[in-house]
Amino acid sequence: MSERNDISSKLAYFLIGAGVGAIVALLFAPKSGQELREDIAGATRRSLDYANQNVKALGQKASALYEAGREKTSGLIDHSKEVLQEQKERVSAAIEAGKRAYQEKKAASAAAIEGEQS
């Protein structure tokens, strides 16, 4: 997550620096006011187009990362459900085996007591 913040802040600093540099260069160029305004407007449009392209690319990359993470998480959840179901079945089988062993011991003890009394 911090990597995305680093990329976003670097991109923002780059765009700000490019914009300021373009404006300073235009202000010190020997041109008329009309030409200067047109150059500033053109530079602004190009900067906005560049920013929009990068924002779209960043958005697509973020979407792809989100989908990849979502698929991986979904797979982990499905695997966890399978493991949990297996454990439930093992515990149920162990409980049933314990009940049967108890009933058999109880029956054997009852038979032994009846045999002694006879």
Question: How far is residue 16's CA from residue 12's CA, in Å, rounded to a whole number?
Answer: 6
Instruction: Please tell me whether the overall predicted TM-score, pTM, comes out greater than 0.85 for this model.
Output: no
Joined tokens for residue 72:
């991986």
Query: pLDDT tens-digit profile of 37-58?
Result: 887 788 889 988 888 888 888 8
Provide the number of structural domains found in the chain: 1
Question: Using a CB cutoff of 8 Å and minimum separation of 24, what contacts does 105-109 make?
Answer: none
Q: At what angle do helices 33-117 and 2-27 cross, to 10 degrees?
A: 180
Q: Percent of the chain scored above 70 by pLDDT?
A: 92
pLDDT for the residue 2? 62
Tell me what pLDDT residue 112 has.
80
Going by C-beta distance under 8 Å and a sequence separation of 6 or more, which residues neighbour residue 15? 47, 50, 51
Print the domain residue range for 89: 2-117
**What's the pLDDT score for residue 88?**
93
